[in-house]
Chains A and B, each alone.
Chain A
Amino acid sequence: DAGVIQSPRHEVTEMGQEVTLRCKPISGHNSLFWYRQTMMRGLELLIYFNNNVPIDDSGMPEDRFSAKMPNASFSTLKIQPSEPRDSAVYFCASSPTSYNYGYTFGSGTRLTVV
């Protein structure tokens, strides 16, 4: 398996533009998670899905952020409009629903909003 695949690896955009981050989880994993990592705040959970259904989006910073999982093999995280304070590394992770397993993280998308 190729692991969790995220795209793009790097994104530089101007303030006010729409940004879409993509994630392909590992086949067979029922849970998918979006995290954001910054030096100041560490790894923050934004939202997670179970069987394609959003379970908890309490970590989403504000209405500018939205996430979808239209099927078991694809998820997107969208920021519209983007702001400089959104600059961070965004990670997608997946896991089986069972509590016996750790997460598999993607390589992340480094987002810079100028």
Chain B
Amino acid sequence: SQKIEQNSEALNIQEGKTATLTCNYTNYSPAYLQWYRQDPGRGPVFLLLIRENEKEKRKERLKVTFDTTLKQSLFHITASQPADSATYLCALASGGYNKLIFGAGTRLAVHP
């Protein structure tokens, strides 16, 4: 069956360090993958999109990699700040019409 796995345990890191979140998937062949941020009581907010033929994408302090052989995406936040504390969701395109299936998310806590 199709599955998207993100670390269910919270990731706790010190301010200034690089946070690395993992998204693994099985039985998918996504054309692209997206990452979202969700704060408590709010809807998810789109951060980055990476296509299957792209290895890496950057936006400011964010970097995403996409390895279709390993079926894995890594999401990095460099020079992390307490304001980066949130839940981060990966999402895979499944089927046509830009349909996204979301992982359960990983909660990141950045401590001063």
Contacts and interface: CB of A to CB of B under 8 A. Distances in A.
Contact of A102 (B34, B95, B105): B34
A41 to B, nearest CB: 9
Interface residues of B, number: 23
Contact of A95 (B36, B98, B102): B98
A100 B34 CA distance: 10
Interface string B59-79: 000000000000000000000
Given A99-B32, A102-B34, A91 B95 contact: no
Interface of chain A, helix or strand or loop or mixed?
strand
B98 A98 contact: yes
A56 B95 contact: yes
Contacts of B11: none
Interface string B32-48: 10101000001111110
Contacts of A101: 46, 49, 98
13 contacts: A31-B98, A42-B103, A42-B104, A45-B99, A45-B100, A55-B99, A95-B98, A102-B49, A103-B34, A103-B36, A104-B46, A107-B42, A108-B43
Interface of A: 4, 31, 33, 35, 42-43, 45, 48, 50, 55-56, 91, 93, 95-108
